[in-house]
């Protein structure tokens, strides 16, 4: 089942919306009344003021807190202008899981987000240098584009955003970043980061 089939079978009123950069789609411990499906752009989701992961094309927002009226377990903010489909959450989650095909589609999305939390938790046990390397690899593998012997990261992934995601203090991050540039592990071409693939 693809996304369009999934949405068509929900029988909900879907609205096309555009959200500006910096918009809070949901806030931790507040109720979110809608489900969003990202068509383009990037969002971050975080808890306790640290980025836990990223959402982009095809990802769904509002399905972390499954029950109608349940408070959100995380804050989700747009990192770029985001175009999305939006529909009321009331009753929609129940319809998402009422057939095997729809429930598989729904839970596969939910599982992807949970995996990001698990990956991040494991990474946080490592040294700052290892955390940075692992975080860059995760971002590259999920959101990057292969260009020869490198993976190009979308420009939205700035050094500050990567530092927040890896939970590395700014001063330490800039030291590690310069070291990775010097060793050729990453390249910065006009603000565009490239992760160099090992031979």
Domain end (from 124, 150, 179): 124
**What pLDDT does residue 199 have?**
46
Burial zone of 171 (CB within 10 Å; 0-12 exposed, 13-18 middle, 19+ buried): exposed
According to the model, what pLDDT value does residue 59 have? 87
pLDDT tens-digit readout, 107-145 = 777 777 778 778 888 888 999 999 999 999 889 988 999
**Residues 164, 136 share a domain:** yes
Alpha-carbon span 182 to 31, nearest angstrom? 46
What is the pTM assigned to this prediction?
Answer: 0.84
What is residue 193's predicted lDDT score, i.e. its pLDDT?
93
CATH of the domain at 101: 2.60.120.10
Distance CA 197, CA 187 (A): 11
Q: Which two tokens stand for residue 166?
A: 């890896």
Domain match, 114 and 134 both: no
Assess whether pLDDT exceeds 90 at residue 102.
no
Is 117 in the same domain as 146?
no
Question: Which letter does DSSP use for residue 176 in this model?
Answer: H
Band of pLDDT at residue 12, cut at 50, 70 and 90: confident
| Domain limits for position 190 | 127-196
* Tens of pLDDT, residues 40-91: 999 998 877 889 889 999 888 887 665 556 778 889 999 999 999 998 887 7
Q: Could you read off the pLDDT of 19-40 as tens digits, one per residue? A: 999 999 988 888 888 889 999 9
Same domain, 118 and 44: yes
Integer CA distances (angstroms), 121 to 99, 115, 167, 197, in order: 32, 10, 11, 24
Tell me, yes or no, whether 84 and 160 share the same domain: no
99 and 135 inside one domain = no
Domain end (from 102, 124, 146): 124
């Amino acid at each position: 089942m693809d996304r369009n089939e999934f949405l068509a079978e929900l029988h909900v009123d879907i609205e096309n919306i555009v959200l500006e950069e910096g918009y809070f789609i949901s806030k931790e411990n507040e109720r979110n009344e809608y489900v969003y499906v990202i068509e383009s752009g990037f969002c971050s989701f975080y808890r306790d003021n640290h980025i836990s992961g990223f959402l982009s094309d095809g990802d769904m927002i509002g399905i972390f807190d499954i029950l109608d009226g349940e408070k959100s377990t995380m804050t989700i903010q747009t990192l770029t202008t985001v175009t999305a489909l939006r529909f009321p959450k009331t009753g929609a989650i129940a319809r998402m899981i009422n057939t095997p095909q729809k429930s598989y589609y729904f839970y596969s999305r939910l599982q992807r987000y949970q995996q990001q939390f698990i990956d991040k938790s494991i990474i946080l046990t490592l040294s700052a240098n290892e955390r940075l390397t692992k975080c860059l690899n995760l971002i590259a593998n999920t959101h990057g584009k292969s260009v020869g012997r490198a993976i190009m990261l979308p420009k939205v992934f700035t050094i500050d955003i990567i530092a927040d995601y890896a939970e590395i203090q700014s001063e330490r991050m800039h030291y590690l970043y310069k070291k990775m540039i010097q060793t050729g592990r990453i390249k910065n071409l006009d603000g565009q980061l490239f992760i160099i693939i090992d031979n």
